[in-house]
């Protein structure tokens, strides 16, 4: 499947979370089935591992712990599989891939499969004249043409916009709700000894963030999650005009960095939480390049995220294995979320949403 126009599905309110998941799965069954058939990480690593008897303890514990903590989201996940007419196991595995891959024996992994923490770049600022979060959504080739937008409405009136990977819970990428709360995400690479088996999955944590009511609530959701693998969260609070970067690791470790008038760039390495991590040349290179680029306006932020000066490790990725799927721009003062297709230096805005509207109106 080639690149496609980013489609949006408005769903809800629904009687049950399972129904919401089912409707999403049915609406995007073509994308989900295509993604599952082409995802080499799923087919060459996750599925062979899951079919082996020794996988049972970890897989069953992951499912049990996440279903117990987040029963509504678990029902949503199962509903997605049933609506898309695909095996529930496949949907479980792609949602837990980050929590499973560190425990697959090295002999079973394929060195040509790009599943390191090379996912996403952000540049953030909150100053007198500008409060902006700009985000590159980076992923491996299996996700090209396999993403969509979910505009979900819950029975309590909460409405969210979520950029979603086919078959995964909304949102492992970025999202916003009508409480004025949003987030973007950056992968980070804790070393294996820092990862706790069968903890809470990152996709379940970010799905929970879509329902956050405030910066405090979002932070508490992250702190209490007992995550298996670390992550970096860029929390955005429109009402308070704040952006905070939270770096997390297992055993409920969290470090909070309040973004101010000094532009803050985050790639895919821990910057302020002291955690043993895998050194990643790609991320280090992007971090160094961003440090020397101008960052005084929204256009300069977008030019930074579109930078391809380093041919080996560009900030804007265009293959053959790693791609920037889109760029998101949140303007806290204009209270808008814009999604840009193509290189953000010159790319076209495909969707813009009013974040001040009760129903997150598309502009």
- Look at 246 and 115; give whichever has higher pLDDT: 246
What pLDDT digit, counting tens, does each position of 253-303 carry? 999 999 999 999 999 999 999 999 998 899 999 999 999 999 999 999 999
**What's the pLDDT tens digit per position in 179-201?**
999 999 999 999 999 999 999 99
| Percentage of the residues of the chain whose pLDDT score is greater than 90 | 93
Phi/psi for 35 (5° steps) reads: -60, -45
In the predicted model, is pLDDT for residue 14 greater than 50?
A: yes
pLDDT given for residue 112 in this prediction: 40
Q: Output the CA angle 125-126-131, nearest 5 degrees.
A: 85
Q: Are 90 and 82 in contact (CB under 8 A)?
A: no
pLDDT at 137 over 60: yes
Which residue in this structure is represented by tokens 């008897």? 53
119 confidence band (pLDDT: 50, 70, 90): confident
Confidence of residue 24 (pLDDT cuts 50, 70, 90): very high
Listed residue (256, 228, 186) closest to 98, CA to CA: 228
pLDDT tens figures, 325-354: 999 999 999 999 999 999 999 889 999 999
Residue closest to 17 by CA, chosen among 146, 152, 150: 152
Q: Is pLDDT above 80 for 125?
A: yes
**3-state secondary structure at position 210:** coil
Distance between CA atoms of residues 36 and 92, nearest Å:
12
Is residue 314 scored above 60 in pLDDT?
yes
C-alpha triplet 196, 245, 178: angle, nearest 5°? 105
Q: Given pLDDT bands bounded at 50, 70 and 90, which one contains residue 1?
A: very low
Residue 347: predicted pLDDT: 80
For residue 106, what pLDDT is reported? 74
Which whole number is the average pLDDT over 154-161? 97
Q: Is the pLDDT of residue 244 over 70?
A: yes
SS3 112: coil
Q: Cis bond leading into 23, ω under 30°?
A: no
């Amino acid at each position: 499947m080639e690149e496609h126009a980013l489609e949006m599905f408005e769903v809800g309110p629904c009687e049950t979370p399972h129904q919401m998941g089912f409707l999403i799965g049915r609406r995007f069954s073509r994308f989900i089935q295509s993604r599952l058939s082409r995802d080499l990480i799923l087919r060459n690593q996750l599925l062979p591992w899951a079919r082996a008897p020794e996988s049972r303890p970890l897989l069953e514990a992951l499912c049990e712990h996440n279903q117990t903590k987040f029963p509504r989201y678990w029902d949503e996940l199962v509903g997605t599989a049933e609506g898309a007419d695909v095996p529930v196991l496949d949907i479980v595995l792609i949602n837990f891939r980050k929590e499973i891959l560190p425990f697959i024996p090295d002999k079973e992994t394929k060195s040509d499969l790009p599943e390191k923490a090379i996912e996403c770049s952000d540049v953030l600022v909150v100053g007198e004249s500008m409060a902006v979060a700009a985000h590159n959504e980076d992923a491996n080739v299996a996700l090209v043409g396999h993403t969509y937008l979910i505009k979900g409405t819950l029975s309590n009136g909460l409405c969210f916009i979520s950029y979603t990977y086919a078959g995964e819970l909304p949102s492992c990428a970025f999202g916003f709700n009508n409480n004025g709360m949003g987030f973007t995400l950056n992968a980070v690479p804790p070393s294996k000894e820092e990862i706790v088996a069968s903890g809470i999955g990152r996709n379940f944590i970010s799905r929970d963030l879509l329902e956050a009511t405030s910066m405090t609530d979002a932070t508490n959701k992250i702190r209490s999650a007992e995550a298996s693998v670390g992550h970096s969260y860029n929390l955005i609070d429109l009402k308070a005009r704040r952006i905070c970067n939270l770096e997390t690791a297992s055993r409920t470790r969290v470090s909070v960095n309040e973004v101010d008038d000094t532009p803050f760039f985050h790639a895919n390495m821990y910057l302020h939480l002291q955690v043993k991590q895998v050194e990643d040349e790609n991320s280090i290179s992007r971090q160094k390049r961003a440090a020397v680029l101008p960052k005084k306006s929204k256009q300069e932020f977008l030019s930074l995220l579109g930078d391809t000066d380093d041919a080996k490790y560009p900030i804007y990725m265009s293959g053959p294995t790693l791609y920037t799927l889109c760029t998101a721009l949140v303007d806290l003062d204009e209270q808008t979320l814009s999604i840009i297709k193509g290189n953000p230096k010159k790319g076209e805005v495909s969707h813009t949403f009013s974040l001040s509207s009760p129903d997150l109106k598309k502009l």
